[in-house]
Amino acid sequence: MNDEKLALMMEAIDPVRDLTDETLEDLFPHKDLMTKIQAGIKEPAPEQSRVASVPVWRRASVMATAAALAAVVAVGGFLIDAATTSSQFAVLSFRPSGVTASEFGGSHSAIGTTLTIESVVAPLGTLYRFNSTPTFSSTSGAASSYELTGPSDLSVEVQRLATILNVAGTATGSDSNGWQVGTALGGPAVSLYNDPSVNLPRASYIAPVQGNAGSVCPIVGDPLDTNTQAMQTTAQSFLTQVGMTYTLATPAFTAAPLPMPLCGLNASAQQLTATIAASGVPTMNLVVHMAFNENGQVIEADFPDVNLPVTGVNYPLQSAEAAASSLAAYESSAIQWNANWFSATTAVVGHGPLSTEKKTAPSITAVTLNGVTIELAATELNNGSHWLLPRYVFTGTILNDSTSTGRFLDSVSAIEPKYVNMPSTNVGLPDDVPAPPVHP
């Protein structure tokens, strides 16, 4: 092969050969990148950073709490986010596709099948020292996996929702920007769009501000209603009414400002935020948010439009101890992983820079694990299917010189590793930088 052909073929296999600056701007919004950078900058210098804490933005990606997601939902708006992020879906073309739908989804008899996960939570790029024996007695060790399906035709689905919710009009929009019936300005309206965080459909509903009884602007400064059970019941009834088969996990309730068209900036409403649950096991990243007026009626709702099957697939689960060990099993070349750390009072594990030029000992984050639960994470597989897959969620305390500096939170797939093919996404900052160019 001559140089010319080599150059042409290298160009042909360039993974980003067709990626324009405009697409890059869409895929990686500048503000998101800056947020990550700023979070990293706020961390202490490398020598201390691994001791002090893990990057905030990584922890955020690991565990999106209901409160945080509620904020996203609250400001997410009506179709707006879908429009601005829809092009991110194009990135899926970059994904590896090691497992085909037929290989996995044929019988749903998943035992013995290796999954390849497209979207996984990045393991923390840091070194760990677990310096006390955690107790995992609360771990049940049992959770099924569920395949989630969404509506096949978003325009038909939004029309169906509109009919149920008495929203008049015809669906307008597109699959990329979302579909809507009615008008968000004053309502009523219902919309359906892709939630880019999980690549699943999400529906929004706004009740009419005027017209129907009880559907008025929320009262300013509402105190939190103590009858939260009524709100939860109403929310569940609403979901059942629109055909959702899932239940709500333990909700959080707030009385908070709720921007509503035609109601001014001071509107405030009772609000409920909860992840959905499958057979009583909460999910990590599928959130329902609803707001209620003073009569307890739903005035806004935002929820995943997915079908959750009644029964799931029972993948064999690894033990919580084994999962915990994998917290630090990545790139464990710097310090030898001690597989028996769980029973030891002090064991040092870690993964540091792989550079062969780096000979200095890595810094260590001291973590005391003190709890574990099991939750389900909506995950997109390489074959395009979406699943709720169980993960162990570990909590702990990050220590620095015997001083507590933060809360440790990370999750690990609970399914036996041999059934899951996860990409390596370990991140660690190098302590060294190349020397700047020297000019003669």
Partner 1 sequence: MANKDEEFARIVSTHRNALLRYGLRRLDDHSTAEDLVADTFVVVWRHFNDLPQRDEELFWLYGIAGRVLSNLLRSRQRSLLLEGRLALERELGLDTPRYSKEDIEELMQALGALSPEQQELIQLAYWEKLSYREIGLVIGCSEKAGGIRLSRTRKALRNLLNEASAEVTPIPLLKKEI
CA 31 from centroid of its chain's CA atoms: 19
Answer yes or no whether residue 322 interacts with partner 1 by CB under 8 A: no
Q: Could you tell me which residues are beta bridge partners of residue 116? A: 421
- Which single residue is written with the structure tokens 């707030």? 254
Burial 393-406 (b: 16+ CB within 10 A, else e): bbbbebbbeeeebb
Q: Shortest gap between Cβ of 146 and partner 1 (angstroms)? A: 24
Contacts of 71 (CB under 8 A, 6+ apart): none
Cβ proximity to partner 1: between 272 and 378 the closer is: 378
For the segment 332-391, give every residue that binds partner 1 (CB under 8 A): 352-355
Give the largest Cα separation in the chain, rounded.
81
Cβ proximity to partner 1: between 39 and 71 the closer is: 39
Answer yes or no whether residue 94 interacts with partner 1 by CB under 8 A: yes
Of 359, 353, 242, which is closest to residue 302 (Cα–Cα)? 242
Q: Shortest gap between Cβ of 323 and partner 1 (angstroms)? A: 15
Q: Shortest gap between Cβ of 96 and partner 1 (angstroms)? A: 5
Q: Could you tell me which residues are beta bridge partners of residue 307? A: 149
- CB atoms near residue 251 (< 10 Å): 21
**Size of the residue set binding partner 1 (CB under 8 A):** 66
Answer yes or no whether residue 435 interacts with partner 1 by CB under 8 A: yes
- Contacts with partner 1, 35-74, as mask; x by CB under 8 A: -xx--xx-x-xx----------xx--x-------------
How far is Cα 336 from Cα 210, in angstroms, rounded to an integer? 66
- Which single residue is written with the structure tokens 């809507």? 180
Binding residue for partner 1, selected from 71, 80, 89, 95, defined by CB under 8 A: 95
Answer yes or no whether residue 188 interacts with partner 1 by CB under 8 A: no
Binding residue for partner 1, selected from 13, 168, 213, 265, defined by CB under 8 A: 13
DSSP-assigned states of every residue in 150-202: --S-HHHHHHHHHHHTT--S--EEETTTEEEEE-TTTS-EEEEEEETTTTEEE
Torsion of CA 160, 163, 167, 172, to 10 degrees: 30
Answer yes or no whether residue 243 interacts with partner 1 by CB under 8 A: no
Answer yes or no whether residue 112 interacts with partner 1 by CB under 8 A: no
For the segment 144-183, give every residue that binds partner 1 (CB under 8 A): none
Answer yes or no whether residue 16 interacts with partner 1 by CB under 8 A: yes
Binding residue for partner 1, selected from 147, 302, 305, 331, defined by CB under 8 A: 331
Answer yes or no whether residue 32 interacts with partner 1 by CB under 8 A: yes
Q: Using CB under 8 A, which of the segments 34-42, 311-319, 373-381, 402-410 binds partner 1? A: 34-42
Binding residue for partner 1, selected from 26, 27, 150, 169, defined by CB under 8 A: 27
Torsion of CA 351, 355, 360, 366, to 10 degrees: -20
Q: Which residues bind partner 1 (CB under 8 A)?
A: 1, 3, 6-16, 19, 21, 24-25, 27-28, 30, 32-34, 36-37, 40-41, 43, 45-46, 57-58, 61, 91, 94-98, 114, 116, 118-119, 122, 125, 331, 352-355, 421-430, 432-437
